Amino acid sequence: MRTSLSVLVSFFLLAAAFGEETPSLTASMRLTPTVLAVRSVLPWVVNIGTERMVKTNDGYDAFYNQFFGTFYRARTKMVKEYFPLGSGVIVDSRGLVLTNHHVVRRANNAEVRLWNGKSYPAVLVGYDAPSDLCLLRLSGDFSAKPLQAAKFANPDDLMLGETVLTIGNPFGLEHSVSQGVLSAMNRSLNDGDAVYDDILQTDAAINPGNSGGPLINLDGELIGINQAIRNDAQGIGFAIPMRRLACFLSHWLLPDRFGNTWLGIDLWTPVMRGEQGVIVQEVVAGSPAAAAGLRSGDEIVAVNASRVRCMIDFGRAVWHLNVGDQVTMLLADNRKVTYTLGPMPDNVLIKTRLGLQVQRLTATLNQALGLNVDARGLAVSEILPEAEFAVQNAPWRNVLKRGDIIFQAGSAETATTADLAKTLAETRAGQVLRLGIFLMQFQRPDQADFILN
């Protein structure tokens, strides 16, 4: 009897012990690489939408109509409603968001909703139409509590068949996760006027609203931005690869884009990937950077003590700098270049924002152009080609010609380059500025809206 009792007690003790361990064992088995990757990524995936006005009826309209018929006038009012457009990725902790250009192209305003439910208005910084990429900036101060930004994969570190995840807002269903594999690399995709030959293909579900969201690996690293699906098939989705994302961001994450700060690096060919850091392709002659000893071909490995391993690291380190800030660049040959950032000269500012070179009208030039001798304004002397990864396909490029006259910027007259530069000094990339232009070909004044660079 004692033996039987001892066995029974031992059985219950073992059962209790195993019963306590089972939940923790089950929990640990559920924490798969997929779950861990999703947990790390969710804070930097955003929902992008817009506000639209919709008409709503009073809830008692049906009741009143039933009893009063034609004598009752329905009470309606207009209210704001959030309308989801797509997804995006936080690429800098200070509030920069990367998405597809087609997501926000037709929106009058954009609102970005974070993982924690907070929403912020967003303004355009810049876009590249052929690449279908767009950079937005949230209207908020994140210096006290920086946002969590994306972790970027090495562009060359892709494995065919590896597990990948998409996270986005299909049909407005926020932060939806789907899983698949990397089906192919370097696919060709014809999207209207643009042809891509570096596209990633995946069978992870990409639906309307996923556009602009991340394609990630199981390390929680961004490897692409979801772009499109093949409508006549299932399980065939496409994403823009990390290499193109890095090139796009390197063109826009520069202080010259966000204000009147002059970094001194040519914006048409800023930096390229090096062995240890990034290589400066061209330093602008006469800039503080050139005066401090920075040369074309120098490889930068750190900026203000922040390690620079890739083009995005460099952009994150410099885009927020302002006039008067000091910058110290450590080069691969152990040289240090230190200089204070200044404002852009007038001609550099005009070239940067408008992509134009202009000259002031003089009596001699007026006579050559067939204008009144006392005509005032700025003659367009050169229309610069759009930089790669900053192509707008702006309508004004089909109209404006060399020799046309800019006589107004916004509400200000532009009799001199200083007049035009004064207006541009208060602007940033992504803003729209209306120019008054006299078109020599048609001998008439006109207006053109410029999305500033």
Measured in degrees and rounded to the nearest 5, phi and psi for residue 146 equal -60, 150
Measured in degrees and rounded to the nearest 5, phi and psi for residue 391 equal -95, 120
DSSP string for residues in 303-341 = ETTEE--SHHHHHHHHTT--TT-EEEEEETTS-EEEEE-
> Residue 69 and residue 397: Cα distance in Å, rounded?
58
448 residue type, one letter? A
DSSP letter (8 states) at residue 152: B
- Among 197, 93, 187, 108, smallest CA distance to 145 is for 93
Are 248 and 257 a contacting pair, CB within 8 Å? Answer: no
**424, exposed or middle or buried, with CB in 10 Å at 0-12, 13-18, 19+?**
buried
Rounded to a whole number of angstroms, the CA Rg of the chain reads 28
Q: Provide the Cα torsion 21, 22, 25, 29; round to 10°.
A: 180
Number of helices (H), then strands (E), belonging to the chain: the values are 11, 26
Token pair belonging to 401? 């010609």
Q: Which of 211, 250, 256, 313 is catalytic?
A: 211
DSSP letter (8 states) at residue 147: P
Are 241 and 198 a contacting pair, CB within 8 Å? Answer: yes
**23, exposed or middle or buried, with CB in 10 Å at 0-12, 13-18, 19+?**
exposed
Is 102 an annotated catalytic residue? yes
Strand partners, 272: 279
Q: Which of 92, 101, 128, 132 is catalytic?
A: 132
> Residue 230 and residue 370: Cα distance in Å, rounded?
56
CB proximity list for 23: less than 8 A, separation 6 or greater = none
Q: Reduced to 3 states, what is the DSSP secondary structure of residue 43?
A: helix
The secondary structure element, H or E, covering residue 122 is: strand 119-128
Is 132 an annotated catalytic residue? yes
Token pair belonging to 12? 């219950």
**9, exposed or middle or buried, with CB in 10 Å at 0-12, 13-18, 19+?**
exposed
Any idea what the Cα angle at residue 86 is, between residues 85 and 92, rounded to 5°? 125
Q: Which of 87, 101, 102, 298 is catalytic?
A: 102
DSSP letter (8 states) at residue 269: S
Could you list the active site residues? 102, 132, 211
